[in-house]
Amino acid sequence: MSGDFRLSVLKPHYEQLFANCQLRRSWLDRIAGVAQTIVQRRSQYEEIERTTTVPWWFVGILHYRESGFRDAHLHNGDPLTNRTVHVPAGRPFAPPANGRQYTFVESAIDALRWKTYDTAQDRSIGAWLWRFELWNGFGYAMRGINSEYLWNGTNHFGSGNNRGKYIADGSFDPNASSEQVGAVAILWYLYYQGMLNGGQSASAAPLAQTTPSAPTATMVQTSQPAVSTAVGQSQQTIQLLNAFKYYQRLPHQDAAIAWLQGQQSPLVLAEFAQRWRSGPAAQGSVQGFTNPSVGVNGNGGIPAVASPPPVVTRPQPRTLEERIIAYCEDKNYQIYRNAGEKNIIYVEGMYPDGRLNEDTANAWNDTRIVIEFKDGKPVILGKWEATTEPGRYYTMRPMNAKGAARIAFGQHKAWQIGRHGQADPHEALVQTGGAITVYRDLNKDGKRTGDQTDTGYFSVNQHWGGDSPMDDIGRWSAGCLVGRTRAGHREFMSIIKQDPRYLQNRGYVFTSIVIDGTDLFQKYPPG
* Most distant CA pair in the chain, distance: 81
Q: What's residue 322's pLDDT?
A: 93
C-alpha pair distances (Å), 384 with each of 334, 436, 525? 22, 23, 21
Beta-carbon contacts of residue 89 (< 8 Å; ≥ 6 apart): 83
Long-range contacts of residues 24-27, Cβ cutoff 8 Å, at least 24 apart: 24/153, 24/154, 24/155, 24/158, 24/216, 24/217, 24/218, 25/208, 25/210, 25/214, 25/215, 25/216, 25/217, 25/218, 26/210, 26/214, 26/216, 27/153, 27/181, 27/185
Q: What is the pTM of this model?
A: 0.46
3-class SS at 9? helix
C-beta of residue 523 within 8 angstroms of C-beta of residue 316: no
Q: Which of 231, 328, 238, 237 is nearest to 278 (CA)?
A: 328
Handedness of CA 252, 255, 257, 262 (dihedral sign): negative
Q: What's residue 131's pLDDT?
A: 95
Q: What's residue 184's pLDDT?
A: 95
Q: At what angle do helices 183-192 and 56-67 cross, to 10 degrees?
A: 140
pLDDT tens per residue across all 527 residues of the chain = 556 788 988 998 888 888 788 888 889 889 999 999 999 999 999 999 999 999 999 999 999 999 999 999 999 889 999 999 988 889 999 999 999 999 999 999 999 999 999 999 898 888 999 999 999 888 888 888 899 999 999 999 887 777 787 776 667 787 888 889 999 999 988 887 778 764 333 223 222 222 222 223 333 333 333 333 333 344 444 455 544 444 444 555 556 656 665 554 545 555 565 565 555 433 333 332 222 222 223 333 323 333 333 333 445 678 999 999 999 988 889 999 999 999 999 999 999 999 999 999 999 999 999 999 998 899 999 999 999 999 999 999 999 999 999 999 999 999 999 999 888 899 999 999 999 999 999 999 999 988 999 999 999 999 999 999 999 999 999 999 999 999 999 999 999 999 999 999 999 999 999 999 999 998 888 87
Q: What's residue 97's pLDDT?
A: 92
* C-alpha–C-alpha distance, residues 208 and 152, integer Å: 19
Q: 172 burial class (0-12, 13-18, 19+ CB within 10 angstroms)?
A: middle
C-beta of residue 25 within 8 angstroms of C-beta of residue 210: yes
Element containing residue 57 per DSSP (H, E): helix 56-67
Element containing residue 105 per DSSP (H, E): helix 104-114
Q: Which of 112, 105, 117 is nearest to 41 (CA)?
A: 105
Domains of the chain, residue spans: 7-197, 224-281, 320-523
